């Protein structure tokens, strides 16, 4: 082993010992702060695994695009089901599987992040309803949890031994404080800091709710503040970051340990934001796709993803 290689190894080990994640240890300020996605793609969700690859879903036809954060270059790795079958929220698990929210199609899909192969598809439709919007997903307590912006329910995919996929999804009705209104309701979803529940944002009211795994909700008091147009959520310790899409900002909310109350301590904007929706972290930076909801989409409309330092 050369002295230069040995120095790199020692530097990486020290970073990990100091508490940095492998992602942080291998990040580089020279990586692009923005990169193009395919024209006409209409991105919505983003997720990033241990390796520096970001995955994006298309609202047009459900395609999944993978980009290398080091270069910004990428390709479609999974062809979607087609028009009317979008890919919205995304999360990747430790087995290299993408859990995909199906939006207006009322579905959830599981896709192999390496090969792009469809592993399983689920129909998520609340009984007696004619409209639904399966919006976002989080992995918590041995299950994948999906929000429905039209119906007061969470959809649970309980994972079996070694993460095996279930035969069907389970509906968990939302009870307690939340009241669904006209427009987008439950949108982004994250775990609570103590891991004993979930957090959802109600986009139309700007309220945050703690949700027990039994579906019971309690409003997280924000001292009179709201996060209207709240979309993607990202939990970092006890700090919850909320993407307020049409406001082009990321709100930082300091939570108490039980996520019973919080305080909006900052809002971070960027000239590179053009209605960002969801959020993921890698190497001390946040990455967000620009959904450009205020721009009329065409097959040639340009789209991109951008990154900002974590505030």
CATH number of the domain to which 153 belongs: 2.130.10.10
SS3 per-residue string spanning 238-271: CEEEEEEHHHCEEEEEEECCCCCEEEEEEEEECC
Identify the CA nearest to 306 among candidates 284, 274, 283: 274
C-alpha span between 249 and 269 (Å, rounded) = 4
Is the same domain home to 12 and 53? Answer: no
Is the same domain home to 103 and 24? Answer: no
Tokens representing residue 80 in the block? 């979607």
The pLDDT tens digits of the residues spanning 236-274 come to 999 999 999 999 999 999 999 999 999 999 999 999 999
Is the same domain home to 83 and 6? Answer: no
Of residues 19 and 250, which shows the higher confidence score? 250
Q: How sure is the predictor about 8, in pLDDT bands with cuts at 50, 70 and 90? A: very low
**What strands lie across the sheet with 262-269, from one edge to the other?**
230-236, 239-244, 249-255, 262-269
Is the same domain home to 149 and 228? Answer: yes
Is the same domain home to 71 and 6? Answer: no
Query: Which stretches of the chain are DSSP H helices?
Result: 3-17, 22-25
**Which percentage of the chain shows pLDDT scores above 70?**
91
**Number of domains composing the chain:** 2
Is the same domain home to 15 and 65? Answer: no
The pLDDT tens digits of the residues spanning 115-164 come to 999 999 999 987 777 899 999 999 999 999 999 999 999 999 999 999 99
**Strands 53-58 vs 64-68: parallel, antiparallel or unpaired:** antiparallel
Is the same domain home to 24 and 84? Answer: no
Give this prediction's pTM: 0.90
Of residues 23 and 251, which shows the higher confidence score? 251
Q: How many CB atoms lie within 10 A of CB 73?
A: 12
Q: How sure is the predictor about 28, in pLDDT bands with cuts at 50, 70 and 90? A: low
**Strands 97-101 vs 90-92: parallel, antiparallel or unpaired:** antiparallel
DSSP code of 161? G
Report pLDDT for 70. Answer: 97
Beta bridge partners of 170: 156
Q: Can you give the residue range of the structural domain that contains 12?
A: 1-30
Over 60: is that where the pLDDT of 37 sits?
yes
Report pLDDT for 65. Answer: 98
């Amino acid at each position: 082993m050369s002295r230069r290689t040995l120095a790199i190894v020692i530097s990486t080990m020290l970073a990990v010992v100091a508490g940095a994640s492998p992602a942080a240890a291998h990040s580089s300020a020279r990586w692009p702060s923005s990169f193009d996605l395919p024209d006409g793609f209409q991105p919505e969700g983003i997720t990033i695994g241990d390796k520096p690859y970001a995955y994006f879903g298309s609202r047009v036809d459900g395609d999944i695009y993978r980009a290398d954060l080091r270069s910004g270059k990428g390709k479609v790795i999974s062809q979607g089901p087609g028009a009317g079958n979008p890919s919205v929220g995304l999360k990747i698990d430790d087995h290299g599987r993408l859990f995909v929210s199906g939006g207006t199609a009322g579905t959830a899909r599981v896709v192999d992040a390496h090969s792009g192969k469809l592993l399983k598809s689920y129909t998520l439709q609340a009984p007696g309803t004619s409209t639904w919007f399966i919006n976002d997903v989080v992995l918590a307590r041995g299950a994948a949890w999906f929000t429905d912006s039209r119906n007061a329910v969470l959809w649970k995919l309980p994972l079996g031994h070694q993460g095996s996929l279930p035969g069907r999804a389970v509906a968990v009705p939302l009870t307690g404080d939340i009241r669904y209104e006209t427009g987008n309701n439950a949108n982004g979803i994250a775990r609570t800091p103590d891991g004993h529940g979930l957090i959802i944002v109600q986009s139309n009211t700007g309220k945050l709710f703690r949700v027990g795994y039994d579906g019971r909700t309690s409003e997280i008091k924000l001292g009179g503040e709201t996060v209207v147009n709240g979309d993607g959520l990202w939990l970092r310790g006890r700090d919850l970051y909320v993407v307020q899409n049409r406001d082009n900002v990321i709100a930082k909310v300091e939570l108490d340990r039980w996520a019973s109350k919080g305080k909006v301590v900052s809002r971070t904007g960027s000239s590179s934001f053009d209605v960002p929706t969801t959020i993921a972290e890698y190497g001390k930076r946040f990455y967000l796709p620009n959904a450009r909801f205020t721009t009329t989409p065409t097959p040639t409309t340009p789209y991109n993803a951008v990154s900002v330092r974590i505030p």
